[in-house]
């Protein structure tokens, strides 16, 4: 045993320092190659950057939110993504590239507003970031109204007074009628005629209890605004759903 140890010592003594450094660097290089190969495999989901970046202030109202990953993701992996966009932003989700997720807000975002984005994969949070839009920089384009068929124009003209009276009566008794349903990314609000109550549906899949409470608070505040008071006139009940698309 002692002879073996002495042999090892003599071997290391013959290796100069430069050779030893080269061997160490080679070992480290191989380690990082294998580490990155395993870490960034075809099914790995590794966040790289976002636009707007986390904590950005005075951002000109973006027409899209772009999220990039370090490697290309397979179609099977991309199908398991879901994004929570608060407060209550509806959006269209598309993949501009295998590593590039794009969110297109519909309707456009508002100026002077803080937004929070949470990206989830298979129910697990990958990244959360927030940004604040600048003042007075709305990206809303001019609204194009659809054309009304001539026969409908004739009917409306001949019955304009009756139509206006009916609409005015409806607005007077139910001022929130024309503002429903409310369909947002994380919740929806409708009026249940049979129960004579509002129904708040919260799409709670992957949410913590704290996040559920936050969304419920946003929804009830929206409902108070709709009904024009500090209290909700007709009352409401809540449904928690696992799916993410409105389903009435």
**Closest Cα to residue 56, out of 134, 110, 138?**
134
Q: What is the pLDDT of residues 166-177, one digit of tens each?
A: 666 656 666 777
- Give the pLDDT of residue 145: 42
Write down the domain spans for the chain. Answer: 2-39, 47-133, 175-241
Distance (Å) of CA 141 to CA 12, 115, 137: 74, 21, 12
* Bridge-based pairing state of the strands 100-105 and 65-69: antiparallel
The model's pLDDT over 89-130, given as tens digits with 9 standing for 90+, comes to 888 899 988 999 999 998 888 888 899 999 998 888 999 999
pLDDT digits (tens, 9 = 90+) for 121-156: 888 899 999 999 888 644 433 334 445 566 565 665
So what's the pLDDT on residue 231? Answer: 60
Whether the pLDDT of residue 235 is over 70: the answer is yes
Q: Which of 184, 177, 186, 192 is nearest to 226 (CA)?
A: 177
- Output the pTM of the full model: 0.42
Please indicate whether residue 21 or residue 66 has the higher confidence score (pLDDT).
66
67 band by pLDDT with thresholds 50, 70 and 90 = very high
Q: Give, in words, the CATH class of 47-133.
A: mainly beta
């Amino acid at each position: 045993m002692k002879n073996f140890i002495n042999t090892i010592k003599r071997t290391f003594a013959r290796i100069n320092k430069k050779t030893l450094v080269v061997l160490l660097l080679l070992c480290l290089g191989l380690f990082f190659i294998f580490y990155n190969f395993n870490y960034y495999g075809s099914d790995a989901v590794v966040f790289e950057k976002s636009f707007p970046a986390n904590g950005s202030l005075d951002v000109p109202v973006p027409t899209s939110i772009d999220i990039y990953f370090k490697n290309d993701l397979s179609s099977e992996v991309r199908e398991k993504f879901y994004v929570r966009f608060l407060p209550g932003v509806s959006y269209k989700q598309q993949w501009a590239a295998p590593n590039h997720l794009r969110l297109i807000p519909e309707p456009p975002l508002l100026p002077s507003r803080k937004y929070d984005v949470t990206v989830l994969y298979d129910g697990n949070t990958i990244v959360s970031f927030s940004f604040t839009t600048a003042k007075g920089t709305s990206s809303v384009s001019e609204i194009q109204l659809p054309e009304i068929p001539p026969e409908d124009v004739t009917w409306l003209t001949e019955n304009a007074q009756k139509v206006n009276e009916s609409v005015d009566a409806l607005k007077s008794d139910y001022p929130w009628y024309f503002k429903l349903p409310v369909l947002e990314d994380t919740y929806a609000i409708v009026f249940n005629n049979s129960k004579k109550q509002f129904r708040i549906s919260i799409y709670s899949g992957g949410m913590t209890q704290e996040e559920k409470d936050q969304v419920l608070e946003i929804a009830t505040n929206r409902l108070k605004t709709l009904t024009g008071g500090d209290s909700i006139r007709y009352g409401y009940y809540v449904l928690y759903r696992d799916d993410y698309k409105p389903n009435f």
